[in-house]
Amino acid sequence: MAKVYFYYAAMNAGKSTVLLQSSHNYRERGMRTLLFTPSIDTRYGTGRIESRIGLRSGAISLVGSDNIFARVSLEHAAQPVACVLLDEVQFLTPDQVWQLAEVADVLDIPILCYGLRTDFQGKLFPGSATLLGIADDLIELKTICFCGRKATMNLRLDQQGRAATEGAQVEIGGNERYVATCRRHFREALDGKPVPAPASFAHSASPFPRPASP
């Protein structure tokens, strides 16, 4: 029986890189994969998945009203599909996540989902919340906080480099405004303590030394 896998991580942990590498591994063996990405993610253009290290691929663009099970069923009938992979899965609706489970359960096609677990306020995205409830396997892709601990939170900064505490849950683009932190420093930042600045804020003095690359 095929499974639904949810690979989650804080921002900039290499989720898209792992997705594209997984798809490549299937295709290298002559197996067909389907790649999906929500249409709301327009950072690289519609229907594109790109990683920070330069890997890229076309993908099927999804809107909230799309039925993923119906789309995969049509594709699978035309030419067998070995695996379905989805980027930025946090933007899917709960119904679409259940449709992914139907693909695994009815069509016996494994589902590999990649995305964030929580937003800049530490709240679950609807798509991620549903996956946490129904996915067969939950796999954390790890990155580090500026203190060297595991980063689990996604801190959004304003133009002054302070932690944002209000705003829309979804903000496309502006990845340089986000910092992956551990829970402790996320909480301290929301309480007003300064945090190291991302690249676009490099002109600002940082109160913390940056750890050496592992």
Angle at 180 between CA 178 and CA 184, to 5 degrees: 120
Longest dimension (CA), the chain: 57
Asked whether 26 and 33 are in contact (CB, 8 A), the reply is: yes
Set 28, 75, 88, 102: catalytic member: 88
3-state SS class at 56: strand
Name the CA dihedral angle for 163, 11, 168, 98, rounded to a multiple of 10 degrees: -150
Q: Is residue 88 annotated as a catalytic residue, yes or no? A: yes
List of residues 6+ apart from 24 with CB closer than 8 A: none
Q: How far apart are the C-alpha atoms of 93 and 97, rounded to whole Å? A: 7
Q: Which residues are catalytic?
A: 88
